[in-house]
């Protein structure tokens, strides 16, 4: 490629060939006073009719010829009547289209933009423009000019245009001043900008390496990294060491800022299990609150049941045709006589039967019962198996988005608690600390809380180890189910799940089985066979199977040939390859296409959904929700996704970082779900992922068939690896201390 000297070009964009909303990368045609050129570079907004002054160099591309590659861009308002009309007609100003643009310019000519900025009230002289429309136009024009300045400023520091747009939406014209003052706020307030990027920007802005802003941000970054890995705190020594290494500073410098943060209430330092630990204050407060709430619920004065428990159990057994074991009856009675109780057990141990029995007894006693689960899929499954309505915990607590705090809030709180006599929560292993705080805050003492789950599964994705901490504290009524129902014993999925959980190798490939192991000795062969299985062999063999909805590929990892990224690319090509007339959108390193199976990867409490033909439109799509892309609209920059066959959600292109392909998902992301058929690769994985409880969790996701594809020695190694990743969580010792004092 031949380079030429740096120069400036000023002109109007006449054609947008390509524009990436995420990073602003643009290829366009620009008309200058004397030529038409192709320009290539980053623009925050690329709109036909917009005038820019660009600085860059001409380069000869071996395939596309001569291009003006610019590194700096500044929007310039046009001055000629033709230029002004083209600018306004582009649609960049709200309330002005081509016809209105012509009418305005016909009246005000070359003074149009000056009037819009300094005396917009005069626009009422244009037919069809009233006072309200003048206000909209003036506001939009001012916003456009402000954003142009903000974007140009941030451009110089390498902040992507999509991030600049988020900053502008959050802070408006104050964006530059706020980031100049403390560039590290980018880490906390702009999704997609991590600490390292913010640190780089801070360096360009002249922030010193030992700046308190930098050190405090480094401390928060390390704490948040540990929280994202499931912990609620960090040991103080480990925190200071990690931050010092990250920032290339001394531990003493880090410790001084840590003390300041403790005084200002940003963090909490305390002794726990004989060591100094550090919390972000919100997680410390949550742990304290959950502990106190659990104690209040456990010792609450309960409503007396108006039925004979043994007789009601017998009637329930007769009605259902299922006889409860002594172990199950004991679990039912504990839950009826305790303020807080836990029922835990693996597949086939009758947890669903127990839930149904408990519900019947509560209803026979005229108690108001709520049933909930952490995810929509888990709640839907409870509704189907019990015949009783179950909701998500978020919906039970009447979540809403608070403009004041810019965060999710619960409508049900200690001040306005749930109006139920009993609350039953299934899939309790998925409940993290923050959700447990919301739940226990809203349950008034005297309400029975029954938590049901499998404590041997992977812990919650969010921070905390709630279910296991409650069980291990030793003071909460806990029923551990170990007997497998005779009917469940016929399923090799159930049998092998228990074998794996007990450290025994699964029995594979018996006759008439629902559990298969198919040996392949390298990852390319594993990948090829998995694609054959999910696209052809399994849907052809099993009746009534929808190969997209009913078959789920799970994998322990995101990376490598059999990680989610590679698997999704291969499965998308197999299930939904490019077709003429099918719209698609390239985003980051993947393509989203109409018909694709996708997953929401973080909670978005503001995201609106519509249910056609219903009045149940609402807000909130959650981490782990799976849907299908209904449409991709490149003209208007929208992707429409349908969840649960009924919830229609529109994503703006700037929101696509919330979506991932979901033909394959990690085992962690599958928690709380069941699928008719599960297919999973078995190969070498990092030891922290190749664990017994991860394999156990994966196998228990399969309802009808489980197929493992890979190397038998690696399968055995996963069973042998009983390494459970320890989480830093203070709930258990807090409960032990508080409840032991009370008892």
Q: How far is CA 6 from CA 122, 158, 298, 356, 427, in A?
A: 43, 20, 73, 75, 62
Residue 348 marked ligand-binding: yes
Pair of tokens at residue 70:
């610019």
In the sheet where 477-481 sits, what is the strand order?
391-392, 369-373, 422-425, 448-453, 340-345, 477-481
Q: Which helix (H) or strand (E) holds 355?
A: helix 351-364
The token pair at 374 is: 């952490």
Ligand-binding annotation for 352, yes or no, is: yes
Up-side HSE of residue 596: CA atoms within 13 Å toward CB? 32
| Tokens (6 digits) for 354 | 């127990």
In contact, 430 and 467? CB cutoff 8 Å: no
Q: Is 555 annotated as a binding residue?
A: no
Q: Give the closest residue to 625 by CA, choosing from 459, 377, 371, 407.
A: 377
Strand extents, DSSP E, 43-158: 51-61, 65-75
Give ∠ CA 82-85-88 in degrees, rounded to 5.
150
Strand 340-345 to 267-272 pairing:
unpaired
Q: Give the alpha-carbon dihedral of 495, 499, 504, 508, to 10 degrees.
A: 30
Tokens of 425: 């929560």
The bridge status of strand 675-682 relative to strand 51-61 is unpaired
Query: Which helix or strand (DSSP H or E) is residue 407 part of?
Result: strand 407-410
Using the structure block, give the residue that is written with the tokens 């010092």: 244
Residue 382 and residue 480: Cα distance in Å, rounded? 20
Give the span between the Cα atoms of 691 and 582, in whole angstroms. Answer: 41
| Alpha carbons 522 and 512: distance in angstroms, whole number | 28
Give the DSSP H or E segment for 487. Answer: helix 486-489
Nearest CA to 670 among 696, 709, 650, 632?
A: 696
Helix (H) or strand (E) holding 258: helix 251-264
Long-range CB contact pairs, 630-639, < 8 A, 24+: 630/594, 631/583, 631/594, 632/583, 632/584, 632/585, 632/592, 632/593, 632/594, 633/583, 634/583, 634/585, 637/21, 639/585, 639/592
> Quick count: other Cβ atoms within 10 Å of Cβ 244?
18
Indicate the helix (H) or strand (E) that contains 391.
strand 391-392
Residue 206 DSSP symbol: T
Q: Token match 């004092």: residue?
A: 741
Can you state the percent helix, strand and coil of the chain, rounding each to 5?
Answer: 40, 25, 35
What is the residue whose two structure tokens read 């009230």?
Answer: 121
Residue 157: CB partners within 8 Å, gap ≥ 6? 201, 204, 205
Q: Report the binding-site residues.
A: 348-352
Q: Report the binding-site residues for ATP.
A: 348-352
């Amino acid at each position: 490629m031949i380079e030429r000297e740096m120069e400036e070009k000023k002109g109007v964009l006449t054609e947008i060939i390509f524009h990436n909303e995420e990073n602003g990368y643009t290829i366009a045609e620009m008309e200058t006073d004397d030529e038409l050129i192709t320009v290539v570079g980053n623009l925050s907004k690329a709109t036909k009719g917009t005038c820019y002054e660009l600085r860059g160099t001409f380069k000869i591309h071996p395939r596309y010829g001569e291009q003006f590659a610019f590194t700096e861009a500044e929007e310039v308002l046009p001055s000629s009547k033709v230029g002004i009309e083209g600018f306004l007609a582009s649609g960049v100003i709200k309330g002005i289209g081509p016809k209105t643009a012509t009418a305005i310019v016909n009246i005000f000519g070359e003074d149009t933009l000056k009037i819009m900025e300094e005396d917009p009230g005069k626009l009422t002289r244009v037919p069809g423009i009233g006072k309200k429309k003048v206000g909209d136009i003036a506001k939009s024009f001012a916003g456009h000019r402000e954003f142009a300045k903000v974007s140009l400023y941030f451009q110089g520091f390498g902040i992507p245009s999509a991030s600049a747009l988020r900053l502008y939406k959050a802070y408006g014209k104050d964006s530059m001043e706020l980031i100049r003052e403390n560039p590290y706020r980018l880490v906390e307030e702009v999704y997609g900008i991590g600490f390292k990027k913010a640190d780089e920007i801070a360096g360009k802005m002249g922030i010193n390496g030992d700046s308190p802003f930098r050190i405090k941000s480094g401390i928060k970054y390390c704490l948040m990294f540990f929280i994202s890995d499931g912990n609620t705190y960090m040991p103080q020594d480990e925190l200071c060491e990690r931050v010092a290494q990250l920032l290339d500073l001394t531990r003493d410098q880090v410790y001084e800022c840590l003390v300041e943060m403790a005084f200002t209430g940003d963090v909490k330092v305390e002794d726990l299990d004989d060591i100094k630990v550090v919390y972000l204050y919100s997680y410390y407060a949550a742990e304290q609150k959950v502990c106190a709430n659990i104690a209040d619920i456990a010792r609450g004065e309960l409503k007396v049941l108006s039925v004979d428990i043994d007789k009601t159990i017998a009637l329930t057994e007769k009605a259902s045709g299922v006889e409860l074991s002594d172990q199950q009856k004991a679990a039912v009675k504990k839950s009826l006589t305790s303020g807080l109780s836990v029922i835990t057990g693996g597949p086939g141990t009758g947890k669903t039967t127990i839930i149904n029995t408990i519900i019947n007894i509560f209803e026979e006693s005229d108690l108001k019962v709520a049933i909930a689960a952490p995810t929509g899929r888990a709640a839907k499954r409870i509704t189907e198996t019990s015949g009783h309505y179950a909701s998500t915990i978020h919906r039970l607590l009447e979540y809403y988005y608070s403009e004041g705090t810019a965060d999710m809030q619960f409508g049900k709180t200690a001040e306005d608690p749930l109006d139920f006599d009993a609350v039953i929560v299934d899939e309790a292993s998925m409940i993290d600390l923050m959700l447990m705080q919301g739940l226990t805050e809203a349950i008034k003492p005297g309400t029975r809380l029954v938590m049901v789950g499998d404590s041997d599964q992977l812990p919650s994705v969010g921070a905390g180890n709630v279910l296991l901490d409650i069980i291990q504290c030793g003071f909460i009524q806990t029923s551990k189910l170990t007997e497998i129902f005779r009917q469940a014993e016929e399923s090799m999925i159930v049998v092998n799940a228990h074998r794996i959980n007990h450290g025994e190798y699964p029995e594979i490939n018996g006759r008439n089985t629902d559990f298969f192991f198919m040996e392949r000795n390298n990852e390319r062969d594993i990948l090829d066979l998995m694609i054959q299985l999910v696209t052809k062999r399994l849907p052809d063999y099993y009746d009534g199977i929808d190969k997209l909805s009913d078959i789920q590929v799970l994998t322990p990892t995101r990376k490598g040939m059999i990680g989610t990224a590679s698997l999704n690319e291969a499965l998308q090509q197999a299930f939904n390859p490019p077709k003429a007339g099918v719209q698609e959108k390239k985003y980051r390193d993947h393509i989203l296409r109409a018909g694709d199976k996708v997953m929401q990867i973080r909670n978005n409490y503001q995201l609106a959904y519509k249910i056609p033909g219903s009045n149940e439109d609402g807000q909130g799509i959650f981490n782990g929700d799976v849907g299908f892309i209904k449409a991709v609209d490149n003209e208007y920059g929208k992707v429409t996704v349908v969840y649960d066959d009924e919830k229609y959600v529109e994503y703006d292109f700037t929101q696509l970082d919330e979506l991932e392909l979901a033909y394959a998902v990690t085992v962690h992301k599958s928690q709380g779900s069941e699928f008719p058929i599960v297919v999973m690769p078995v190969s070498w994985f990092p030891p922290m992922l190749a664990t017994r409880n991860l394999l156990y969790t994966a196998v228990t996701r399969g309802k009808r068939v489980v197929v493992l594809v890979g190397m038998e020695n690696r399968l055995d190694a996963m069973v042998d690896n009983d390494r459970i990743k320890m989480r830093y969580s203070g709930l258990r010792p807090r409960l032990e201390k508080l409840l032991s004092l009370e008892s």
